[in-house]
Amino acid sequence: MSRLYVYALAGSHLPAFTAAGRHVYSLELEGIHVVVDRRSTLVKPSEEALRCQHAVVEAVAARADAVLPARFGSLVELDDIRGIVAARSDAIRAALETVRGCVQMTLRTSLGRQVPTTAHRTVSSSGRAGTAYLEAKRAAVVHPDPAVLEAIRGAITGLARREHVQPGRGVVPPAVFHLVTKGQVTDYRSCIDEVAARMPGTPLRISGPWPAFAFTPELF
């Protein structure tokens, strides 16, 4: 049976188009536009498949002012899509209004600090296996340096509509995501450059603008 692969939710209708070899169109449900293509099987995760999905989401974002990207692998029956949208319609509309007219900017820094978890502090000394696991988990989680965060937040006052901080894991450094109005991306970059100039020992890598991946509720 053919199912629908969900790429994104949009705040307005999108005429059918082709991107990355996929024929994409939108369905209106509860006043929300679900951007899909039709397929029978799920493509396995690969660099090519991820690049294809990203290209489609970028194409959607270029055509709509409010877009919530779906996670990779969202292959869903139409009835299930209807049920999800009906159950979460208020949250979806609120999220669409939040991201409307905005893009995501991403900052990564290799500087951070490890923060002990509550669970780790309450493990008894007799739970050796559990303690070892929690110690390994704690060591793998790195939070952005508070001084760096404070400097960033002070510099971009009035430019970021929302912020989401993602701790680093393993070799992946901590990330700070900001939701920025499209017309203020240049100002945002300039402010981050000023922070980097004031803190030469702090490596800051900026990327974007992207669709608002970090500000999308998990739905599918």
Its pTM stands at 0.83
pLDDT of 32: 98
In 63-74, which positions are buried (b, 16+ CB within 10 angstroms) versus exposed (e)? bbebbbbbebeb
Distance CA 202, CA 43 (A): 40
Of 56, 82, 80, 76, nearest to 67 (Cα)? 56
Q: Which three-class secondary structure state does DSSP give residue 206?
A: strand
3-state helix, strand, coil in the chain (%, to 5): 40, 30, 30
Q: Report, as an integer, the average pLDDT of 139-165.
A: 91
> Do residues 108 and 173 lie in contact, with contact meaning Cβ atoms separated by under 8 Å?
yes
Distance CA 119, CA 136 (A): 13
Q: Report, as an integer, the average pLDDT of 165-171.
A: 87
> Do residues 167 and 141 lie in contact, with contact meaning Cβ atoms separated by under 8 Å?
yes
Q: Report, as an integer, the average pLDDT of 1-30.
A: 94
Comparing 30-44, 128-142, 200-214, the range with the smallest average pLDDT is 128-142
Environment class of residue 108 by beta-carbon count within 10 Å: exposed (0-12), middle (13-18) or buried (19+)? middle
- Taking 60 as the threshold, does the pLDDT of residue 114 lie above it? no
- Taking 90 as the threshold, does the pLDDT of residue 99 lie above it? yes
pLDDT of 138: 57
133 or 190, which is more confident: 190
